[in-house]
Structure 1
Amino acid sequence: MNDLQNAPVSPAPAGRSTLLVVDDDAINCGILEHIFSPYYNIGMAHDGQAGLDYILERQDSLCAVLLDVVMPRMDGLQVLRQLAARGLPERIPVFLITAEASGSVMKEAYELGVMDVIGKPITPYVVLRRVQSVVELFQGRQRLRNVVQLQKADLLAQAQQIIELNRGMIEALAAAIEFRSEESGDHVRRIHDITLHLLAHTPLGRGLSDDVIEAIALASIMHDVGKIAVPDSILNKPGRLTAEEFEIMKGHTVQGARLLEQIPQLRANGAYPYAWDIARHHHERWDGRGYPDGLKGPDISLAAQVVSLADVYDALSCKRVYKDAFPREEVLRMIRTGACGCFNPWLLECFFGVEEQLSRMYRKETL
């Protein structure tokens, strides 16, 4: 008894404070309870099946399991096999306590994940030290896991803040361009929402991950960023542009792509390749008569096609410095007949399938 009194005391861990003894011998149970009760709550099961049931029902409260081998209903190795199949020995240290520690028993026990095999008769200070050392190891490992999880959560939160900051900067840049052309930032937000809706709620986005769809929608905000290079006298001209002025206006596509190329921080953003493509190609036409590269048909990326249609739809539906808003019926007629561009027939089919939902934005409703 003096050996036990001089042994180091390990406080019962919060949450996992129960040590389970699974043994059909009342004397062994009494000895083990006497050894460990000063340090842990003690659970008892007097056959293998009862022990397995106890573990499965209360696994989150267990700090260790002391498991006899020879027992009725289910022996210790059978219990251990059930625990190993569920991966529990990785989270709860299991000790085999037996007088029959043959080579085959020990070999299988260790293969199944048992932490130690303790022979009978039990030497109290030895079994106490061996069990406590392992319990403390598991506790330390769990504390380390908790710290890693907290650090991981902190890093994810910081990454999310950076993402939100980058998005805010992108939106601010795009909105500044809109203010130059005497528009509010609502235009770029609507382009974002229309693009997102078309890709997320029609077959257009089939095969695209949610992350890609979000990246394309974010990139759509920067479609007109090149207008920063267009003089105010042209950008805000209330009447029809001359041929020379229109050539300058058309240059906003190339200028936008160049501007994006010169922002190194943006290159690390997943939206960058879509933003570059959309800025340069959102005025291409399905029939090849667009600009700046005269791309035709499927040579135009899906992202640029969707933003092109979204841009036309929004431009027709809203008042601009050079025109009033068209009625919804006229907007749909002009898009359907090709009066304002030539679009992929499949794109138009998907667009008209959800246009009723899109039109709510212009009735002060939400998608």
Structure 2
Amino acid sequence: MPDRSLIWETEKAIKTQPNILIVDDIPENLSVLGELLQPTYRVLAANSGRRALQIARGVPAPDLILLDVMMPDMDGYDVLAELRDDPATRGIPVIFVTAMDATEDEERGLDCGAVDYITKPIRPAIVMARVRAQLELKNARDILSDQNAYLEKEVSRRMAENQLIQEVSIHALARLAETRDPETGNHLRRTQEYVRTLATSLQHHSRFAAYLDDRTIAALAQSAPLHDIGKVGIPDHILLKPGKLTPDEWEIMKTHAELGAHAIAQAEADALQPVEFLGIAKEIAHHHHEKWDGSGYPDHLSGDDIPISARLMALADVFDALICARVYKPPMPFDEAHEIIVKGSGSHFDPDIVAAFESEFENFKRIANTWGE
């Protein structure tokens, strides 16, 4: 009965032996190289360029290729060119083995991507030393590549984790305002998605393309839930009043825009470096009640003087307020809300943002139904 430990050690040795592919159209040359390398390495052989490419693309792939230059049909330069063009074989180091010993031949081989150049007749000690050196280099590259891949995965994981923590923190802050006004429910989520939808729709519009890149759209959606954070500074008897506010109460209510912007500005000041979404959140909190014609608050900005972020939020916020029930009003049907938004084009809202709203109206309804009260 065979010794299992011996079999295991043999299999282990085979698995750990580097694979070397030798390529030459002359059988005697294959035999010489094979006999030299075989005690130390697992040797694969090919007598043509086409066969060499088949083996190189197989499993397991060679760790190193010793490639003859002068072969019929497909010479070593052509083989090397195909190896380098294929992502699966691009990383396999190739040593040219050739009788051509002119300096220009060696330079051409190295320029084509060979890692070394051995001239015939071969000298065993030279071949073994150069093979060993290239295998050690490949092993070091493989280790570095594995480490880089691990680091990239770890960085991606930590970035995703940080992003999640950031989003949860934003929603927690926004809930400070929303929990004092329990009728709003999923208002944060809906308005966030409305803003994302409008921004994506306008991404290639001539007036918005320079601003609305993918990164900014993500920051806009991230920032949107903080639009009413300033409500934490409004007294309960005004914020929770079931009836219509008096003129004086309304003036106090309007201060939530500046209160929110101030709170976010304080957070920005505490940060060790600029945080993009906080800058956008500050714009939204401060100016989402401005109107296109200048009749809004707190600064009576008009037209393009209103930040794009705030213009997007203005429409999203009003649409959601229209379709949701409040103690002072029932929910409005989608079509009626649509009509009011469209009528506000050029007075309350940026006309191009209203046009985007009209094109995305079905998506607005889907978002409203998905995140309904």
Same fold (TM > 0.5): yes
Structure 2 CA distance for aligned equivalents of residues 43 and 104 of structure 1: 29
Residues 94-119 of structure 1: per-residue CA shift (max 9 Å, x gap): 11222331222112122223222223
Partner deviation per Cα, 1:222-256 (whole Å, 9 max, x = no partner) = 11011111111111111111111111111111111
Residues 39, 336 of structure 1: alpha-carbon distance in 2 compared, 3 angstrom cutoff: same
Q: How does 1:39-54 map to 2 (within 5 A)?
A: 39-52=40-53, 54=55
Structure-to-structure mapping, 1:288-303, within 5 angstroms:
288-303=294-309
Give the equivalent residue in structure 2 for 1:91.
91
Amino acid aligned to 1:198:
L
User: Which residue number in structure 2 is paired with residue 319 of structure 1?
Assistant: 325
Contact kept? 2:190, 2:368, Cα under 8 Å: no
SS in structure 1 of the partner of residue 63 of structure 2:
strand
Once the two structures are TM-superposed, the CA of residue 268 in structure 1 deviates from its matched residue by 4.1
Deviations 1:69-126 (A, max 9, x none): 3322233344345545668996222112223312221121222232222232323233
Give how far 1:300 is off: 1.4
Q: Residue deviations 1:4-51, cap 9 Å, x none?
A: xxxxxx96676x943111112222211211122233332222234443
1:146 Cα offset (Å): 0.7
Cα pair distance change 1:85/1:162, threshold 3 Å? closer
Tell me which moved more, 229-238 or 202-211: 202-211
**Residue 242 of structure 1, aligned match among 242, 246, 257:** 246
Letter in 2 for 1:277: E
Query: In 1, distance between residues paired with 2:31 and 2:362?
Result: 76
* 3-state secondary structure, aligned to 1:58: coil
After superposition, the CA RMSD in angstroms is: 2.8
Quick one: distance in 2 between partners of 1:136 and 1:117? 17
Offset of residue 265 of structure 1: 4.0
Match of 1:25 in 2: 26
Which one-letter code corresponds to 1:18 in the other structure? Answer: N
CA–CA distance in structure 1, aligned partners of residues 188 and 98 of structure 2: 74
How many Å separate the matches in 2 of 1:121 and 1:349?
Answer: 78
Is 1:284 aligned to residue 290 of structure 2? yes
Q: Work out the CA distance in 1 between the residues paired with 2:289 and 2:307.
A: 12
Task: Check the 8 A contact 2:194/2:367 in 1, yes or no.
Answer: no
Distance in 2, Cα, partners of 1:88 & 1:332:
55
Do structure 1's residue 132 and structure 2's residue 132 form an aligned pair? yes
Map 1:65-76 to 2 at 5 A.
65-76=65-76
1:290 deviates by 0.6
Equivalent residues in 2 for 1:148-187, closer than 5 Å:
148-187=148-187
Per the alignment, do residues 205 and 11 of structure 1 end up closer, same or farther by CA in structure 2, a change over 3 Å counting? same
Which secondary structure does the structure 2 equivalent of 1:240 belong to? coil
CA distance in 2, matches of 1:82, 1:186: 57
The residue that corresponds to 1:7 in the other structure is none
After TM superposition, give the deviation of residue 185 of structure 1 in Å.
4.4
Secondary structure of 1:283's counterpart equals coil
| Paired residues, number | 353
Partner AA of 1:250 in structure 2: K
- CA shift, 1:129, in A, is 2.5
Residue identity matched to 1:131: V
1:261: which partner in 2? 265
Shift of 1:355: 2.1
String of CA shifts for 1:155-211, please: whole Å, max 9, x gaps: 2211211111011100111122111122354111111011112222x3466432222
Where do 5+ consecutive residues of structure 1 fail to align? 1-9
**Equivalent of 1:209 in 196, 210, 213:** 213
Structure 2 length-normalised TM: 0.85
Distance 1:233 1:64, change over 3 A: same
Structure 1's 335 and 59: CA in aligned 2 closer, same or farther, altered over 3 A?
same
Moved more, 43-52 or 131-140: 43-52
**AA of the residue aligned to 1:296:** S
